[in-house]
Structure 1
């Protein structure tokens, strides 16, 4: 077993770039973060493999600037597993592909039931790939040898996996489908930051729009400030559940806050002044958050029968139709068409009820050409049948 070393100096980095330039074919890329340990989602290790060049493990915080590597591999096909997870942190250091082959997405399109890298490698290559370090703190320095071995194997098998998968995609007539999906991964824009990210606190929607809700906001903001300053995952400082305990209790003194047994976490007592100051701001403020934000989120489908019965029938008919297509094509339903697209189409309906209109609506929502080709006609037929039945749900027999 080779001894894995991490490239952490500029000179070694440039030597590696020269070696990679002499390689051939696609470039396998992976990145390791420290999710759950650090505030940032930066890459703490970047792995790369190319035939004719070998494998390389880069230390992004030490190297900093990856432009020389980008200039060498930028126009090549990059092979990643679950590319959407790694592209943000790769782009953060200047690594940005123009073409990818996503082996996780490819596995979904092939109808493989388990799409984790270890499972797919075992299914298609017959190799057992241990995944025991996937949730490790990759900001650790120095990185243990066993972690480096795990990280290198993640990319060293990707090219063989890509080649095996490409053969199967061609046999199933899905190469063009895969190409469109891979292009969509590269082109997808990052989500804009939430205007009020504190509302992601679990259980916050149950609080009344009063000082309690203001306390939840102020506590979240105080924790976020500390987490950002110390580059620590917020939940490791004080868990969400503890913030909610304090917001519901709304203590009127620092001592009362400190006395809440369920207000726990590694920083719950060492930073008690910070949390009490947040509570004080909430108690003093006149800026009370509204209970609900304006949103274009649709109501849950379970409520449609009462709130929009015509849409409920359209959705149920269309789901049944697309499930049949999914089974026929061996493509998971969620990959056949983004579920939110179907819900939005069913909620408002289509006028005029024609194939061209359905196609236009799907395109406007962001469906890929292959998805429109496979789904537009079944959706149209489902909506027509819903209209012919009066778009009224059947009355259940007692």
Structure 2
């Protein structure tokens, strides 16, 4: 049997639309999209790895009856009029969690959502990148060469704009196919519940001690070394924020960790750590050295302390030693979820989050009943469709261990 013919998608149907970068052009686009019909395909391009913020540097839209639009949110930072015009429309995004925060910064907040990536996961697609799904479902090949580009560049090159326009060119067609497949497999209500949960999720609170996420920090074993990491990380963050640069472009994590290990006392010894002689880092040599010295000489009461236990269960690989009964509950629950996920052709994490399974089995309700297990799952954030599929087999598995006296 011959392989299906994949057609390259090289040009937008109506050509590359002009970039909207003034109020009059934006008003015209808002009016056109308000007159359009059906779902609205939306995408946003950021400059991750180049700029400090996660803001959007280009917003793409497409709707039947309106065609495609490319909006420069640097020149047009307020999309609240577009948001109001499309308040009743279904917004189609691929991997919505990536784009929703930067769209919200512009005043664009969907009320109805269809996430084609999440739909693909629920339907059991092994690879759910946009290009792969468009190829599998529609037989079209998208060019993905500019996905990691610096979209803060101005003016944007024509081939980048072509790529951006093509990202929404067939997104509604992909949505329509997946919607039909969800309906045919009985999973549409599950998907709609997931989409609603994405829209209802609160914004993530700022991380506590974000410097502790420095890559390679596990190599730093002393509290004074951790103080150096904290001082260097904080200084780097200030420099990056002011210059609107990705922190790693100012100074890589590896340099921070090495300085914490070596604790250099002179600029000469500091520059023996290669990244400190890079163009961005070298201009701040005295500041870096001062930060190292602050950490190295900091009074003991001000030193960062080891991180205490979090509010969740310990790592699962320690359960067998700390609580053998909980380890047996976890193994039984994982087996249940894996079997159900396989039966319904989806990743286990989409059926029930691993953290939910761990918290349920580390501190199970008492007594174990379907009602108590359902309440616990609900309190942990499980959706109703997930509870409906898992509560009975999970309860039975936990009850069997209880009857055997193994918990």
Calculate the TM-score normalised by the size of structure 1. 0.95
| 2:345 is the counterpart of 1:330 | yes
Q: Which residue in the other structure is 1:395 paired with?
A: none
| 2:388 is the counterpart of 1:386 | no
1:322-343: CA deviation from partner (whole Å, max 9, x where unpaired): 1111111112111001110000
| 2:313 is the counterpart of 1:298 | yes
Q: CA deviation at 1:254?
A: 2.5
Tell me the SS of whatever aligns to 2:257: helix
- On the 8 A contact 2:16/2:165 being kept in 1, the answer is no
Tell me the SS of whatever aligns to 1:101: strand
Aligned equivalents of 2:143, 2:52: Cα separation in 1: 27
Q: Which residue in the other structure is 1:72 paired with?
A: 85
Aligned equivalents of 2:141, 2:228: Cα separation in 1: 50
Partner residue of 1:20 out of 33, 46, 51: 33
| 2:280 is the counterpart of 1:267 | yes
Q: CA deviation at 1:279?
A: 1.1
Q: CA deviation at 1:176?
A: 0.5
Q: CA deviation at 1:260?
A: 2.8
Aligned equivalents of 1:117, 1:137: Cα separation in 2: 20
- On the 8 A contact 1:246/1:257 being kept in 2, the answer is yes
1:181-212: CA deviation from partner (whole Å, max 9, x where unpaired): 00001011111001211111123244234321
1:231-281: CA deviation from partner (whole Å, max 9, x where unpaired): 000001111011100011111223321233364644232221121121122
Tell me the SS of whatever aligns to 1:61: coil
| 2:120 is the counterpart of 1:103 | no
1:76-98: CA deviation from partner (whole Å, max 9, x where unpaired): 11000000110000000100011
Q: Which residue in the other structure is 1:149 paired with?
A: 162
- On the 8 A contact 1:215/1:247 being kept in 2, the answer is yes
Aligned equivalents of 2:68, 2:174: Cα separation in 1: 16
Tell me the SS of whatever aligns to 1:18: helix
| 2:60 is the counterpart of 1:47 | yes
Q: CA deviation at 1:390?
A: 3.4
Aligned equivalents of 2:274, 2:141: Cα separation in 1: 46
| 2:353 is the counterpart of 1:359 | no
Aligned equivalents of 1:333, 1:361: Cα separation in 2: 19
After the TM superposition, which residues 221-232 of structure 1 pair with which residues of structure 2 at under 5 Å, given as runs? 221-232=234-245
| Structure 1, 380-389 or 353-362: larger mean CA deviation | 380-389
Q: Which residue in the other structure is 2:384 paired with?
A: 369
Contiguous gaps of at least 5 residues in structure 1: 393-398
Aligned equivalents of 1:262, 1:61: Cα separation in 2: 32
- On the 8 A contact 1:238/1:264 being kept in 2, the answer is no
**RMSD of aligned C-alpha atoms?**
1.4
Aligned equivalents of 1:65, 1:170: Cα separation in 2: 36
Q: Are residues 42 and 312 of structure 1, via their aligned partners in 2, closer, same or farther at CA, if it must alter by over 3 Å? A: same
Tell me the SS of whatever aligns to 1:131: coil
Q: Which residue in the other structure is 2:208 paired with?
A: 195
Tell me the SS of whatever aligns to 2:274: coil
Report how many residues are paired: 392
| Structure 1, 206-215 or 60-69: larger mean CA deviation | 206-215
Calculate the TM-score normalised by the size of structure 2. 0.93
Tell me the SS of whatever aligns to 2:16: coil
Q: CA deviation at 1:228?
A: 0.1
Tell me the SS of whatever aligns to 1:57: strand
Q: Which residue in the other structure is 2:106 paired with?
A: 93
Aligned equivalents of 2:276, 2:286: Cα separation in 1: 14
Aligned equivalents of 1:42, 1:77: Cα separation in 2: 23
- On the 8 A contact 1:121/1:161 being kept in 2, the answer is yes
Q: Which residue in the other structure is 2:5 paired with?
A: none
Partner residue of 1:250 out of 263, 269, 275: 263
- On the 8 A contact 1:239/1:264 being kept in 2, the answer is no
- On the 8 A contact 1:209/1:290 being kept in 2, the answer is no
1:91-128: CA deviation from partner (whole Å, max 9, x where unpaired): 00100011100000000011111100011111111111
Aligned equivalents of 2:371, 2:236: Cα separation in 1: 51
